Amino acid sequence: MTIEKLGVIGAGAMGNGIAQVAAVAGLDVVMIDVTDAALAKGISTLTASLGRLVEKEKLAPAARDVALARIETSMDYRRLAAVDIVVEAATENLDVKVSILKQIESVARRDAIIASNTSSISITALGAAIAEPSRFIGMHFFNPVPLMPLVEIIRGLQTSAATAEAVRELTVRLDKSPIGVTNSPGFVVNRILVPMINEAFFVLAEGVATAEEIDAGMKLGASHPIGPLALADLIGLDVCLSVMNVFLSDFGDSKYRACPLLRELVAAGRLGRKTGWGVYRYA
């Protein structure tokens, strides 16, 4: 299957990033969200991102303009009727994602691939929510999408080999590096990464070191490019908490309990960079 037109649900950090890399790679894109304001913010973000690539001479100004022209925005799911693949990039909530997948299925072509950018929710469970789960797959990008090279391709129990191969080929076309993953909570990267972040919150809560010292320790002692607490702020503390809750529920192992400090910060609305305050304050 040749993929030339891509739909993406969600104009947030992940959605607009996926739209950007697809448009730069030469695909036509339809980006869907629930409000004009969300769509405008998504376009503004990806326009600024493309501008930075032009400033760094990694993208020609003409190529930027062509990429932007390839992106259509809409609140109408019916605009997905002509796309070859739809990538759902909505909030990390099972009920929300199931509702969106059903809406996608009601308008998409029967041969169109439906993918989810979920970071932790079972691809098998999500696929079971639609009538043709053989065309459903996980396509997990990493934040920030334009810069991070990895995409986890997750096959659910029902995913067909043809669907997986088409998505692998698309991933390469997007100038990303795919890894194949068996469906399991958190897949590969978040299964390892998010519990480490959670442990950093326990270390902070116990007063073992300050946030700055914890992050410096992991950068200098483990060669991480960013400390775990700063990374949590970048990911979103609410996302980290959601992933830990999925792990605890699906594995039934108390080692995946979320740190009370993480829960407290989320309850306070301190979600990280997107709210201007998480572990750290941001301008």
Catalytic residue positions, numbered: 119, 140, 152, 190
Give which of 194, 171, 61 is closest to 120, Cα–Cα.
194
Give which of 189, 186, 156, 181 is closest to 256, Cα–Cα.
186
CA distance 196 to 250: 18
CA distance 151 to 145: 9
Distance of CA 109 to CAs 7, 53, 229, Å? 12, 34, 42
Name the packing angle between helices 237-251 and 260-267 (round to 10°).
130
CA distance 111 to 117: 19
